[in-house]
A and B are shown apart, each in its own frame.
Chain A
């Protein structure tokens, strides 16, 4: 085995690739899972979303805002009546061209209550946020994200107090958001302008529509209670009969993480099974080479048996050889798998997480593959009759 280096290496290659792909695939799966969870929790702690539209039969109606069933008053009613709720804010949003002097930038403008900042854990880097009075007065003030600030003002120190124009309406900048970066879906969370709800809804969009309502429960334990309170209240307000379909949806953070959790689980299982197949193919490669090796070395086996090797000695010798191949292949494969994972992370910009579990799993699996596929050839070798083996040409 050691004396036929190239062949041993090629045999090992099957296992190396198998183990490496299992590790890389699991790392990619695990990485995306964690990333999605992080994005979901960045929605804010204990957050609840209320979206207009109905849950269609057997599935999720994803087209948020396609129906105009939610109103500002719904949000205010929740604020007053649902005691499990801490923060609440209706949301309107629209893409818009933002102009500052000679520069302009296309971004998203959001209209929200000041609760939105607390609910989403949005921190202010500079200046301050607006308050309820600004909303009542539909004041023309706004808080901008870092991307917008950089593109319109190139990060000047005196950005606060400057005026930007959205749909020809001048907005005074009173705050800059702290950097949040991209979310899982590749959206730049800093490319945003946030203004008081009434200002955006009435002055900018001239609508009564509300795209969604964002709420936060008082505590994690109260999320379900809060969800139930909201359901009851809005059904009552929308006069939905007992057996009628809701014209809105309430989604909690755990609903979301369950959905995405199961998606990424399926993804991980799929990737891992594809990778396991290559490990299996690697195992068949080992079996193939071990069978060839047993045939080639029949005479050697005969000599060993003639000088007193027992069947068990020959069996052990061949099993050890195949386990050794898969063991070393497994080690190299782990190295390669981690390397590939890091490459994916660096150049693909895809989040990866190599877990100890995946390393142990693929290592164990590759050793078992060696044992399993090495057993038959070894068995064959050990059952040879000494005199037949010696006579073999």
Chain B
């Protein structure tokens, strides 16, 4: 048996107690290996976010087993789980979820504040490097309300990267962004993935899913397909393509 980074077995999630029960996930089994870049697709309400929250250790399944990096997550208590999230997982949300009225660099530093092995100096330099890697080195003292949506999402990515996680989980990271900005985010993801970081991303946009290596399709709380992306797109190329028509129009 190969050791997968993520291994979920027959997990189910039932919301609500008593009369109205919502079966958000039913018997989901999936293995994700290191270095993968997975796009999770499916209609709204099909259980994508629920699945992400569980594998991201933000929520617990009602039943089933989950091993992350060989560790049985169900057995961890609240504090250990927090530590796990801190060190192993970088989370990116559709609504950015960065602290308002807090500078870009401070937002990026946040996970390191809860990592006691890192001192002040190292925290600052790592946060700066993470910001630099998403192209925001010059905006470290900007507040979120002074930044565009794309820039805010890049802060969130830097924050997810700063603790050097083994996996990045992104729940509709481009859901609130226009297509050019979305491609820029995908470019960052592809670069990270090329460096060996595993990425699990939820999206309902098929063209965004094409930047991944494989896609998983959810329907009514179940996985109905899992296949590699056939014509994989490269974000850099796509960005070039958008630029071209504009220059063409200018020439005319």
Contact = CB atoms under 8 A, between A and B. Distances in A.
Nearest to B111: A307
Contact of A3 (B97, B101, B115): B101
A300 interface: yes
A311 B78 contact: yes
Interface string A298-326: 01101111111111110000000000000
Contact of B82 (A300, A302, A309, A387): A309
B54 to A, nearest CB: 9
A390 interface: yes
A307 B78 contact: no
B58 A307 contact: no
A302 B101 CA distance: 16
Interface stretch (B65-73, B83-91, B198-206, B218-226): B83-91
Nearest to B91: A306
B229 to A, nearest CB: 28
Interface in B77-105: 78-79, 82-83, 85-87, 91, 93, 97-99, 101
Contact of B58 (A3, A309, A310, A386): A386
A381 to B, nearest CB: 14
Given A308-B82, A310-B83, A303 B58 contact: no
Interface residues of A, number: 19
Nearest to B79: A310
Nearest to B80: A310
A307 B114 contact: yes
B129 interface: no
B97 A305 contact: no
Interface string B108-130: 00110011000000000000000
Nearest to A299: B97
Most buried by A among B59, B78, B86, B93: B78
A393 B146 CA distance: 22
Given A311-B78, A312-B79, A390-B97, A304 B110 contact: yes
A303 B99 contact: yes
B53 interface: yes
Contact of B79 (A299, A307, A311, A390): A311
Contacts of A390: 58, 93, 97
B48 interface: no
A387 B59 contact: yes
A264 B185 CA distance: 75
Contacts of B154: none
Given A3-B101, A387-B53, A308 B87 contact: yes
Contacts of B101: 3
Contacts of A299: 97
Nearest to A386: B58
Given A303-B98, A390-B93, A308 B79 contact: no
A330 B86 CA distance: 37
A382 B114 CA distance: 14
B37 to A, nearest CB: 22
A307 B88 CA distance: 10
Contacts of B85: 306-308
Contacts of B83: 308, 310
A308 B59 CA distance: 13
Contacts of A300: 99
Contact of B114 (A3, A309, A386, A387): A309
A385 to B, nearest CB: 8
Nearest to A390: B97
A61 B79 CA distance: 72
Nearest to B56: A306
A305 B98 contact: no
A16 B83 CA distance: 40
Given A308-B85, A310-B114, 15 more contacts: A299-B97, A304-B110, A305-B82, A307-B111, A308-B83, A308-B86, A310-B78, A310-B82, A311-B79, A311-B82, A312-B79, A385-B59, A387-B53, A390-B58, A390-B97
13 contacts: A3-B101, A303-B98, A303-B110, A305-B82, A306-B58, A306-B97, A307-B159, A308-B114, A310-B82, A311-B79, A311-B82, A312-B79, A387-B59
